[in-house]
Structure 1
């Protein structure tokens, strides 16, 4: 897109449905880091990789051992692997290029969401959020699991609860626990059912800080922005909240250790809350104060400037977009069906949503071109105007005026090998090859092919034995035109299927017309319109000419006076 002709006053967010993708019943989606590939998990256990530039299928990952619906998909850092979780309690790691299964692990519970460690180029560890237990760290190579603490006793001891994730009163939670990695994976943010955000060190699996969320409601979703500066929570009190992350993107545990040394003599939970208040600061909250709807699949935009959330109401495909300051800027209304998943493109202002029926809708910006941005003296006209030339417009310029010499140093060597880093991908390792595209193989349209074969077989049968329509026409003394090409055969087959006869009827000629036709028939043979006529149709047309009747291949005379 030419950025120079885009109006800068327009918001950089999607506005209309640009296109939709269809392949089976898709349930969840995820972009790779560059946004060039889109992975979609289907209800039959397969995972489809779309080329987002051409909107074609580049790869289909299918496991014969998994026929259950997919609950989440996640790309590795450089796009060479995809982690898929399904309702049969399985976690499958796929090699995208070869399309082969790398490893498969079965857990004790169904995983609602799983993500790979963002700091590893060769994924071997993932974070899984089961249906009704605490989040776990899974080693994909060995299959071993480590349960994360999801709550802390509200006493002065600061003892972490056992791995069964029980509350203080001993009851089990009824809602899943949300969790996500920090930008580089050295910290894990866990949102529990008590309305708290636990900051956990990834290496020693210890709680390093506690942040109390306003409202103390169950946290359903927790998302970290792409740059790691903001944290988003979706609570059960119908409110989305944003927290500003004061920790550095790298070496978060070391920064927490420095904070602990400045706190003082606080111990236990009080110390953890004091540390948490200096790590995450409440920034803003988003809610619909009129309808008070629940939110689903909230996320940030690629640059973190916009916050998007979908309505969780059934039969409603609504997407709300706010700026980070809390102002509602756009409401996108889609088809009258529920929304199951939502994701924002990493680079462009594009939102992709999944409907309950399995279609993927692509929301893009409705650009308005600003042609006056080409030159400062360019003028846009609302209607045609007569142009009046200046008096000296076509005068020859004097030779004394010369074009200003360019200040570019032509002797300077131009570096064509150095690749400038994009600010959105500043953490990329240039030594590691990143997978951005896959070769897309076009697939033939199977229904059209079967239709052509069926019509060709009907054509062959009609050539040998004659179709029912031709026999009926021959019995009534009428002349029909057999199909002379596959296209005509397809049209005839469609007519047979729909019960519509494609024969054209000719108007009854006048007496003067019959006399002219008879005189013309005696002088010369009547020319036939279409070229591929059978000998039988030609003989019948000649017989009709002897009787003073002109019969064409596309027409059938239904005049009783001509048949007498």
Structure 2
């Protein structure tokens, strides 16, 4: 999408459903860094990758050891690897180009979220957020695991240092904890059930700062913008909050160390809160003050100018879009199905959402054709008009219509090897090994369609052998259509078959006349063949003109 020709008055955000994708039952989606490939985790444990430009399936990743629903999917920075978490407590690392699984690790709890380390081209470190366990950093090569703290007053003591809440019956419940890497993966930001944001060094797992959230509600989602400048949190109080990151992106660990040294006169929680005030500052809050709706899968747009969140209400497929100033600019209403996941395209004004039935909807701008942008003298007319040409309109005037010489130096060498940096990405120089496209691979048909086609082929063979005009059938778009049935029998779209209609009396009369004519013609042909056989001398047939007969 050429951003220079987008009308700023229309807004750079999606408006209508442009298309939908369907392959099995989709549970979660994720774009690669350039937005050229879209990966989706399915209910049967497989992962399908679409070429987003052609909307065709480019690759399907299937593990024979996993048949459970996929809970999350994440691309590596260069797009050559994908990590998938599943409901069978497994983490799987895949090589995208070859389609082979690199590593598989089974955890003690079901991982709801898994994110690869963003600072490596071929990462093996991943951040996992299990269902009832503290977030952990897992090295898939060495299988080393670092459990992260979820509370300042609580040290990680094994696989279950999760945030605990006392229920009314006295039992202990576990609350899933949200976590994410910073832009370059040096720090981990954890949102706990006490309404706090913990800034943790992923090398040693130590808490370096803490930011309390107003209201103290459970943090359900936490995510950074692509440039690392803003942090988004989604809390249980139905408020989306945006924090501005005050740390330098590449030197954040050193900056935090200097902050802690300057705050040596403070101890414990007060020191961490003071350091947290120098790390994050509240920028904006988003909520629906009327309906008080809970939010599902909130995120930033590719450029960070827009914030999007899906409604978590059942039977409602609504997407809310705000600008960064806090104004609600658009509410997208989809089908009467719940929304379970969504993602904003990294470069273009496109949002992709997943419904509860597993269909992927693509939301895009509703562009209005403006031909004057290509021809300034173009004029639209409401109805056809007779054109009257000018007297000298098509006269050849060699003096005024001379072709101006081009200012381009044709002898100058053209550089076709250097790749210009994309201004939308601040680190395009690190994308030499980046995987943007995949060769399309053929995909087998649905087994139901294959069985129907084989059954149709067998019927054709039987009808050819019988020779009866009533049993002759033809194949139309892979489905059988009988001459004796209604002419509108199948719509040739998947397994959707239209209702068969009973022929009227007029149609039956026409079919009877056609059968009589067919029988008469066959009887006449047999009579002519017999006359030729009678006139034969036994050694062969001689020519006789039967046109007069």
Which residue of structure 2 lines up, in the alignment, with residue 451 of structure 1? 452
1-structure distance, mates of 2:450, 2:193: 55
Is the deviation greater in 212-221 or in 2-11?
Answer: 2-11
Q: 1:80 and 2:80 equivalent?
A: yes
Is the deviation greater in 199-208 or in 4-13?
Answer: 4-13
TM-score (norm 1): 0.80
Question: Is the 2:315–2:338 Cα contact (8 Å) retained in structure 1?
Answer: yes
Is the deviation greater in 335-344 or in 167-176?
Answer: 167-176
Distance 1:188 1:4, change over 3 A: closer
2-structure distance, mates of 1:462, 1:408: 70
3-state SS in 1 of match to 2:45: coil
Which of 493, 507, 510 is the aligned partner of 1:504? 507
1-structure distance, mates of 2:378, 2:156: 70
Which residue of structure 2 lines up, in the alignment, with residue 539 of structure 1? 523
Aligned pairs for 1:270-289 (under 5 A) are 270-289=270-289
Question: Is the 1:6–1:370 Cα contact (8 Å) retained in structure 2?
Answer: no
3-state SS in 2 of match to 1:416: coil
Which residue of structure 1 lines up, in the alignment, with residue 150 of structure 2? 150
1-structure distance, mates of 2:313, 2:401: 71
2-structure distance, mates of 1:176, 1:507: 71
Q: How many residue pairs are counted as aligned between the two chains? A: 507
Which of 477, 480, 484 is the aligned partner of 1:490? 480
Cα deviation for residue 254 of structure 1 reads 1.0
Question: Is the 1:316–1:337 Cα contact (8 Å) retained in structure 2?
Answer: yes
Distance 1:216 1:540, change over 3 A: farther
3-state SS in 2 of match to 1:285: strand
2-structure distance, mates of 1:540, 1:6: 73
2-structure distance, mates of 1:409, 1:88: 64
Aligned pairs for 1:179-328 (under 5 A) are 179-263=179-263, 265-328=265-328
Aligned pairs for 1:88-167 (under 5 A) are 88-153=88-153, 160=155, 162=157, 164-165=161-162
- RMSD, aligned CA: 3.6
Cα deviation for residue 144 of structure 1 reads 2.3
2-structure distance, mates of 1:415, 1:499: 66
CA deviations 1:13-59 (Å, max 9, x no partner) are 11111111111111111111111111111111111111212212222
3-state SS in 2 of match to 1:490: strand
Question: Is the 1:372–1:378 Cα contact (8 Å) retained in structure 2?
Answer: yes
Unaligned runs of 5+ in 1: 154-158, 471-479, 509-525, 544-564
Question: Is the 1:91–1:106 Cα contact (8 Å) retained in structure 2?
Answer: yes
Question: Is the 1:124–1:141 Cα contact (8 Å) retained in structure 2?
Answer: yes
CA deviations 1:250-298 (Å, max 9, x no partner) are 1211122233344462222212111111111101011000100110100
Question: Is the 1:173–1:193 Cα contact (8 Å) retained in structure 2?
Answer: no
Distance 1:541 1:11, change over 3 A: farther
TM-score (norm 2): 0.82
1-structure distance, mates of 2:384, 2:4: 25
From the CA coordinates, give the structure whose radius of gyration is larger. 1
Cα deviation for residue 327 of structure 1 reads 0.7
Aligned pairs for 1:38-77 (under 5 A) are 38-77=38-77
3-state SS in 2 of match to 1:253: helix
3-state SS in 2 of match to 1:491: strand
Distance 1:444 1:221, change over 3 A: closer
Aligned pairs for 1:352-391 (under 5 A) are 352-374=352-374, 378-381=378-381
Distance 1:2 1:425, change over 3 A: closer
CA deviations 1:275-329 (Å, max 9, x no partner) are 1111111010110001001101001111111111011111111111111111111
Is the deviation greater in 481-490 or in 354-363?
Answer: 481-490
Is the deviation greater in 300-309 or in 172-181?
Answer: 172-181
Which residue of structure 2 lines up, in the alignment, with residue 436 of structure 1? 436
2-structure distance, mates of 1:228, 1:309: 19
3-state SS in 1 of match to 2:275: helix
Distance 1:65 1:538, change over 3 A: same
